[in-house]
Chains A and B, each alone.
Chain A
Amino acid sequence: MVKHVDAIIVGAGWAGSIMAKELTEAGLSVVMLERGAERTTPVEGAYPESIDELRGAIRKRLFQNLSQSTLTIRNTMDQTALPYRQLAAFLPGEGVGGAGLHWSGVHFRVAPEDLRLRSAIIERYGEKFIPEGMNLQDYGVSYDELEPFFDKAEKVFGTAGEAYKVQGKIVGDGNVFSPDRSDNFPLPAMKDTFSASVFRDAAKNAGYHPYSLPAANASRQYTNTYGCQMGPCNFCGYCSGYDCYLYSKASPNVNILPVLRQDPRFSLIPNAHVLRVDLDSTKTKATGVTYLDTKTRKETSLSADLIILGAFQFHNVHLMLMSGIGKPYDPVSNTGTVGRNFVYQTITSSRVWLPPSTYTNQFVGAGGAGVAIDDFNSMNFDHGPLGFVGGSPVWVNQAGVKPIAAALGAGGGGTPRWGSAYKDSLVNTYKHSLGIDAHGSNMAYRDVYLDLDPTWKDAYGQPLLRMTFTWKDNDIRMNQYVVSKIEPIARAMGATKMNLVHLNAGQPFDTRTYQTTHLGGGAIMGENPQTSAINRYLQSWDVSNVFVIGSNAFPQGMGYNPTGMVAALAYWAAHHIRATYLKSPGPLVKA
């Protein structure tokens, strides 16, 4: 007998947990299926064993176990894609909490014009400004529509920050480029580390507009809107890639699941790998899902009226392709939508050395804390003479540099990577330098996409997802331009030496070094079912009782970190499901 619930949620990360909370509040019975293990902060975050770099970020304990499933990657369509066998370039999550358990906590809203980037570019520079082959699109939703949901998410995450404008009034020394807010941040901004304070002063003197990164790291004790509690962050430095032992970094595990788990309408099944969403014979209605118990290898089918995919960007795309939801994208005929507009993010980290009398204490840090400038992000500067689309915030985000990571990264680029000279430079770099990142946008292109691999399979016999991705000229030039702006700031910081790192023309995407886990697109939102897989409420155009929540919805990769936007989109979709869909299930937008 197939068991029935009102709603099934695939994935126990931020997207899934927010949706589960909203749908149980609406009175629905909800089952959340998570392929990974049960995880709670008292266990995973326990001090001191969680303060272990080898077990944590180096052996990658909390991340996706690639031995079970991975994807294949190639740079161009004429290559054979090869499996991503070892975690490096990006680190997808697994287990209850998803990557939300071990993210860093930089918690942005969105630059309003990024939501309508195609329109904004055409208004300012004309349609010809968009390079051939670039699939520039609008989201189909505006900042004003999303604002209440950004606000709601910040109050759940306990976000620390300094506002610029609240209800039209300038209230503080926040980001002058940021849009109006209905309310202040729930917590004051995180303190500046020494390196961030030096950057703040230098950037201000150079005429830019530094601001405190909004951080879902609690700057004080906080009780969120659900009654979940966070303790103050002490800049322990074991943040990115770790479960926070002080309950200071927002996670589904700390900020949502403690209350959800007490709700009798909610159940969470870990070690449940969803193989597919089951559709009826019309292929326009989902009937439930089939999952594999990864411990017993037993397949189970569950039926439900509503299915939410919250499995993370590329896993959502994989599930859609495996289930036959929507039409797979074909770059040759330029038809289909599932897999289209796969995007990433450009990031380059430059290094600045201060005099030997100055210690940067890089082990001190919090994942979300730092100081940034937005002067070269989004549409905040004139692209006309530059001839590229997009931009980058620039920041010092000292998240806590630990010794193995520092040692592995030291040397290279013509300097020794071992031996005594290497040790000299490692010690000097560790004690006296700091990093400055250009963390920028990445546009979508017709020949950059996701589909199913013809050769390799996962441990459950399903084809791996195939990623066709490389850096393109527009984004490389954007990165180079923004990195050139770091030099005067570094000089003003009193640099004794600097290593400015940018992407190089023709440089292919390299899967071997960590960049970000800010993958996007592949099942994007939009107003036209020919060019988007989901509508502006993140509802599948093709199977209306399936909603697909995650950064898969982004038509292009933005300069900001994605999770604030993912959370706001989840609350936005949930609001419309509760207000409209549940009353009369069916498409919320006519195709």
Chain B
Amino acid sequence: MEPTLNNPLRRSVMKGLLGTTSFWVASGNAHWAEALAAEAAQPYQPAFFNAAEYQFLESACERLFPADHNGPGARALGVAEFLDRQMQTPYALGENWYMSGPFEQGPANLGYQLPFVPKDLYRKGIAGVEHYARQQYGKGFAALSALQQDEILTALEGGSVQLGDIPGRVFFEQLRTNTLEGAFADPLYGGNRGLGGWVMLGFPGARADFMDWVNQEGASYPIGPVSISGETA
């Protein structure tokens, strides 16, 4: 599949989505796959997260989605890069969340009621986890053993830890959600490198044509994935 690179509509859509990160400005009219390859050659420079925060994400996301016999983990898939890029989109500002006060807390089943948008949750949440890690183990999160990191993540998930004004569970769910997005979203967002997430699941990506595969009596789909930019694996 050959993307139609001079289609002005697509370019404006992409800009709207990704803002004016250097990658997209630099890419200009270049072939997306080439641009992605060039990008992969040099390490990604985070623009939203500082070095320590980025290091936290690299280690925490890898525990949530570790490399194993199933396939690559969050680090190899570029999940931290995905997260950093997402923090530069309107999503980070809670673009389609209702964020008018008052903010009253209620039963969990009535949903999210905090005055924080995703970028606040990350800034405060990471600082909170680092603080908790030092308190409990005397070291920053990234310096802990995998076992200790898992203990912290389990505590956050279980709801026993408060991270300043953010419940640990809220931060955990935000991180889990975005980590899985980064593992499986189209690689144009910076994660799912080499389509590794899709290969793991046998998901064909943007093929979107199964005319002959509606029912093949339980056989496994034979064609590998393709991304929006035309990358295959």
B28 within 8 A of A: no
Give complex CA distance A327, B130 in Å: 56
- Which residues from B are CB-within-8-Å of A58? 181, 185
B64 touches A419 (CB 8 A): yes
Residue contact A234 to B96, C-beta cutoff 8 Å: no
Indicate if B53 sits at the interface (CB-CB under 8 A). Answer: no
Residues of A within 8 A of B217 (CB): 194
Is A235 within 8 A of B201, CB to CB?
no
CA distance A527 to B3 in the complex (A): 58
Which residues on the A side are within 8 Å of B107 (C-beta)?
75, 79, 508
CA distance A81 to B14 in the complex (A): 38
Q: How large is the interface on A (under 10, 10 to 19, 20 to 34, 35 or more residues)?
A: 35 or more
Q: Which residue of B lies closest to A198 (CB)?
A: B218
Nearest Cβ on chain B to A51's Cβ, whole angstroms: 4
Is A235 a contact of B210 with CB atoms below 8 Å?
Answer: yes
A443-459 vs B: 1/0 string, CB under 8 Å? 00000000000011101
Instruction: Pick the interface stretch among A41-49, A173-181, A388-396, A566-574.
Output: A41-49
Residues of A within 8 A of B17 (CB): 55
Q: Is the CB of A87 within 8 A of B96?
A: yes
Let me know if B200 and A85 touch, CB within 8 A.
no
B25 nearest CB across to chain A (Å): 19
CB–CB B65/A423 < 8 A: yes
Does the CB pair B97–A423 fall under 8 Å? no
Whether B96 contacts A60 by the Cβ 8 Å rule is yes
Q: Tell me if B70 and A88 are in contact (CB < 8 A).
A: no
Which of A402, A407, A424 is packed against the most chain B CB atoms within 10 Å? A407
- CB of A265, distance to nearest CB on chain B (Å): 31
Q: A79 CA to B108 CA in the complex, in Å? A: 13
A419 and B63 contact, CB distance less than 8 A: yes
B176 touching A67, Cβ below 8 Å: no
How far, in angstroms, from A534 to B153 measured CA to CA in the complex? 54
Q: Is A581 an interface residue (CB 8 A)?
A: no
Given known A-B contacts A49-B13, A191-B215, A408-B180, A82 and B106 have beta carbons under 8 A apart: yes
CB distance from A514 to the nearest CB of B (A): 12
CA distance A79 to B186 in the complex (A): 42
A173-210 Cβ-contact flags toward B at 8 Å (1 or 0): 00000000000000000011110010000000000000
The contact of B99 among A85, A87, A235, by CB within 8 Å, is A85
Q: State the Cβ distance, B231 to closest chain A Cβ, in Å.
A: 11
Tell yes or no: B120 within 8 A of A by CB.
Answer: no
Q: Are A54's CB and B176's CB within 8 A? A: no
User: Cβ of B112: which chain A residues have Cβ within 8 Å of it?
Assistant: 85-86, 512
How many Å lie between the Cα of A361 and that of B204 in the bound state? 10
Q: Is the interface of A mostly helix, strand, loop or mixed?
A: loop
Chain A nearest CB: distance from B10 CB in Å? 6
**Which bracket fits the contact residues of B?**
35 or more
CB distance from B104 to the nearest CB of A (A): 6
Contact: A511 with B214, CB < 8 Å? no
Q: Are A360 and B214 in contact (CB under 8 A)?
A: no
Set of chain B residues within 8 Å of A456, measured between Cβ atoms: 100, 102
Complex alpha-carbon distance, A80 and B103, angstroms: 12
Does B208 belong to the interface (CB within 8 Å)? yes
Given contacts A67-B96, A245-B208, contact A197 B215 (CB under 8 A): yes
Closest to B186 in A: A52
| Interfacial chain A residues near B97, Cβ < 8 Å | 66-67, 85-86
A197 and B197 CA atoms in complex are apart in Å by 29
B109, A509: Cβ atoms under 8 Å? yes
Complex Cα–Cα for A193 and B68 (A): 32
Q: With A52-B228, A66-B97, A86-B112 given, is the CB distance from A354 to B203 under 8 Å? A: no
The answer to whether A407 and B184 touch across the interface, beta carbons within 8 angstroms, is: yes
Q: Closest approach, in angstroms, between the C-beta of A276 and any C-beta of chain B?
A: 21
Q: Does residue B9 face the partner (Cβ distance < 8 Å to A)?
A: yes
Q: A83 to B203, Cβ gap below 8 A?
A: no
Measured between beta carbons, the chain A residues less than 8 angstroms from B1 are: 48
Within 8 A of A (CB), among B51-107: 63-66, 68, 70-71, 91, 94-100, 102, 104, 106-107
For the complex of A and B, list the 9 residue pairs with the smallest distance between their C-beta atoms, beginning with the closest: A403-B184, A236-B208, A358-B218, A54-B185, A407-B180, A510-B109, A359-B220, A51-B206, A418-B64
A-B contact pairs, 10 of them (CB 8 A): A52-B185, A60-B96, A67-B98, A67-B99, A75-B107, A84-B111, A85-B111, A192-B214, A235-B214, A418-B64
A residues in contact (CB < 8 Å) with B: 43, 46-49, 51-55, 58-60, 63, 65-67, 69-70, 73-75, 79-88, 191-194, 197, 232, 234-238, 245, 354, 357-361, 363-364, 402-404, 406-408, 417-420, 423-424, 426-427, 430-431, 455-457, 459, 508-512
Q: Could you list 10 further interchain pairs (A-B, Cβ under 8 angstroms) beyond the known A51-B208, A58-B185?
A: A65-B96, A67-B94, A87-B96, A235-B210, A236-B210, A359-B202, A363-B210, A423-B70, A456-B100, A512-B108
